[in-house]
Amino acid sequence: MKRLVKDGREPGSEVTSRGQRILVVEDEPDIAALIGYQLTRAGFRVETTLNGVEALRTVARDIPDLIVLDRMLPGISGDEVLSRLKDDPETQGVPVLVLTAKKEREERIAGLELGADDYLTKPFSPRELVLRVQAILRRAREPGRVSAGSKVLRMGPIHMDVSAMQVSVSGEDISLTPIEFRLLHAFLESRERTLSRRQLLEKAWDVEADVSDRLETRTVDMHVQRLRAKLGEAGDSIQTVRGFGYRLKKDLE
């Protein structure tokens, strides 16, 4: 995994992350213990469950700030857990970092379409895991912290108030995830300029991208599709530039 969190700050350096609760769902005790140790050291409160049923029960009792979810679990799979979390209005907003084994990546890419916020391929460095978790929580906390540019962006029926983190289409408010918000912001700022998947990953995910990785490009595609759907008819203004990326069409009315 060549992808690294951009700012490279030390794990645990973010005082604001302290006390946030993370649920780790991992059936391999050694890995679960390692993740728990690293996240605890970084100031998080960590709860670990060894299977999906227990994970869903734990979430139902008390919704965590973030879930680290292994895909390969006994009983119900990580994908199934993710799907149930995303189907439930109570839990669909909880960020999920998915852990996936290298061999299951290509054939099981579909799992990501269920709505993971990010993923890590095993084996991963514990430091990278902590940085990813911090980056996801930072985005969730401040989706509007995208750039020092203009505070209100608009194009056709799309209106974005950056500091209020509000987006409306033809006057109707729509609800976007932090990633969708940041993607739309990148499009609105770039106007007709085409953005590569790499640029979108860097802008929206705040990471250095490895675009030779098919999973990376699929991740971008999936989130752009979701954004398009939420924008309704205005979503058609996000055009696919084959083999390269996307652009927002200017003359939208």
Q: How far is the CB of 233 from Ca ion (least distance, A)?
A: 42
Contact status, residue 90 vs residue 109, Cβ threshold 8 Å: no
- Taking the least distance from each CB to Ca ion, the nearer of 70 and 216 is 70
Query: Strands across the sheet with 96-101, in order?
Result: 45-49, 21-25, 66-70, 96-101, 118-122
Structure tokens at 66: 């973030």
Range in contact with Ca ion (rule: CB under 5 A) among 27-35, 130-138, 164-172, 228-236: 27-35
Based on CB atoms, which residue is closest to Ca ion, 14 or 27? 27
Sequence-separated (6 or more) residues with CB below 8 Å from residue 144: 162, 163, 164, 165, 181
- How many residues bind to Ca ion according to rule CB under 5 A? 3
Q: Could you give the CA distance from residue 82 to residue 67 in angstroms, rounded to a whole number?
A: 10
Q: How many CB atoms lie within 10 A of CB 105?
A: 18
- 24-32, 105-113, 145-153, 223-231 -> range binding Ca ion (CB under 5 A): 24-32
How near is the Cβ of 206 to Ca ion at its closest, in Å? Answer: 27
Residue 103 CB partners (closer than 8 Å, separation 6+)? none
Quick one: tokens of 150? 């203009």
Binding mask 101-140 for Ca ion (x = CB under 5 A): ----------------------------------------
Residue 169 is a binding residue for Ca ion (CB under 5 A): no
Which lies closer to Ca ion via its Cβ, residue 114 or residue 160?
Answer: 114
Shortest distance, position 70 Cβ to Ca ion, whole Å: 4
In the complex, the smallest distance separating the C-beta of residue 123 from Ca ion, rounded to whole angstroms, is 13
Type of residue at 65:
D
Compute the least distance from the CB of residue 101 to Ca ion, in Å. 8
User: Which lies closer to Ca ion via its Cβ, residue 82 or residue 137?
Assistant: 82
Nearer to Ca ion, 72 or 211 (CB): 72
- Chain positions 50 to 89 lying near Ca ion, rule: CB under 5 A, are 70, 72
**Judged by CB under 5 A, which of 27, 47, 113, 206 binds Ca ion?**
27
Q: Is 105 helix (H, G, I), strand (E, B) or coil?
A: coil
Q: Who's near 212: CB < 8 A, 6+ residues apart?
A: none
Q: Which is nearer to Ca ion, 5 or 120 (CB)?
A: 120
233 Cβ partners below 8 Å, 6+ apart?
none
User: Which residues of the shown chain bind Ca ion in the complex (CB under 5 A)?
Assistant: 27, 70, 72
